[in-house]
A and B are shown apart, each in its own frame.
Chain A
Amino acid sequence: MPAPDPAVSLRGAGRRYGERAALRDVTLDLPPGQTLVVFGPNGAGKTTLLRMLATLLRPHAGEVRVLGRSLPDDGYSVRGRIGFLGHEALLYRELSGRENLRFHARLHAVADPAARVQAVLEAVGMDARADDPVAELSRGMLQRLAVARAVLHEPELLLLDEPLANLDPAAIAQVAPLIGTGSGLTRVITSHDPVGGLVGADLVLGLKGARTQLLAPASEVGSEQITALYA
């Protein structure tokens, strides 16, 4: 049986910021259901890569294909199938968690939004505080709501920028079924943790200075190689 189309496919992908390259010549294939973990120091291009895959940034060079569609031209058709968790929670501070999620559910045309929002709130353990304004919540709670927002529309591909930041071990355990290996979804994750980040990884990409320093299956990569990126 032929291999299925990769969920994420990059060929010489690049992105400029002004005169500088934010990302240069990245080439990789990620089969569906697998996890790509991206390591690298700050400014190496991890967030740029993630945002490009999320259709938030247009590629300036090379080819980018996500879920079988070419970006940026077919970006419209894949947006609803991608879940993005960035550095910001993307929630309106004056509204409650429930109202924010309701809004996103409507934007994504989720069927039966009220029920789905309730289900997701319970899944991340935020049901009790769902009606408080987001401004009153702690960072950990905010992160949990952000996770809820990212998976609300049942995406096929998860793009997670340091997803476990601000979460205590209990919270990490709680969101694991949604965004962890147990979810069965294709995932692209950025991480700074040379040991913990490798857990659950199938493919590892190390970026430095916007270029690919390391690209290998996770089984062949050790923590020392990751740490070397930051040297």
Chain B
Amino acid sequence: MLTTAFALVFFYAPTDADQGIIQKIFYVHVPMAIVALCGFVAGGIFGIMHLRTRDQRWDMRSYVTIHLSIILAVGVLVTGSIWARISWGHWWVWNEPMLVVFLIVFLLYATYQPLRFSIEDREKQARYASVFAITAGAFVPLCFGAVRMAQNLTHPQAGTMTTHGPGSVTLTFLCSLTGMTLLFVTLCKYEMASKNATSKLRSLRRRLAGEDDFIPTGGRSAAPQI
């Protein structure tokens, strides 16, 4: 699965060789942004599921989705900044709704892990994280709308490019979007599996040692433990 995802992501490079480095960044930057935004909203939905079912696994999914989306968001900011530098000569431009929204969203979600870390009780940590995920998840589309309203759109929209550009642009874009999505989902599954394994190991150790005994977990953690 992972290899297929990577293959798809790099697939666009050959079809695109003649269009210059600017376009190459576009194929990474925009899919990253779309997937990250969906990831944040998904994190919010998983938060709702966690609060409704009190099943810690939903909290795990919420955490992993948000965690990875934050990393993607950094990627969006970096690639967007490079793009801005190449296209308009500045490292940052306030006219791009995408860039501005991601800055705000990144600043917001950057508090997610410190918030989790500062609440010791596991259940409480998960509950508060879910509340945050829901609030922030609803905030993301609203913020996007608000910033778009405020800006003159100089950011070339994915939509306009595909309608005006040649067919290969659309295809390549869709390919890289699919690739990015698959990559994201794969990384999510990978991280969740890894966390599941760790927690199963710990609960086994706990049972072997006698259930009452306090097994130090090596300090508090911002990550959920099932």
A contacts, CB < 8 Å to B: 16-21, 24, 209-211
Contacts and interface: CB of A to CB of B under 8 A. Distances in A.
Contacts of A210: 212
A21 B212 contact: yes
B119 to A, nearest CB: 11
Interface of B: 120-122, 206, 211-212, 214-215, 217
16 contacts: A16-B122, A17-B121, A18-B120, A18-B121, A18-B122, A19-B206, A19-B214, A19-B215, A19-B217, A20-B214, A21-B211, A21-B212, A24-B212, A209-B212, A210-B212, A211-B212
A18 B211 CA distance: 13
B214 to A, nearest CB: 5
Contacts of B217: 19
A105 B186 CA distance: 56
Contacts of A24: 212
A211 B215 CA distance: 18
- Secondary structure class of chain B's binding surface, majority of residues: loop
For the complex of A and B, 4 pairs with smallest distance between CB atoms: A20-B214, A18-B122, A21-B212, A19-B217
A16 B120 CA distance: 12
B223 to A, nearest CB: 14
A17 B211 CA distance: 14
A16 B56 CA distance: 15
- Which of the listed residues A17, A18, A21, A211 has the most CB atoms from chain B within 10 Å of its own CB? A18
Nearest to A209: B212
Nearest to A210: B212
Contacts of B206: 19
Nearest to B220: A18
Contacts of B120: 18
B169 to A, nearest CB: 53
A71 to B, nearest CB: 15
Nearest to B217: A19
Contacts of B122: 16, 18
A209 B121 CA distance: 19
A24 B212 CA distance: 9
A17 B214 CA distance: 11
Contacts of B215: 19
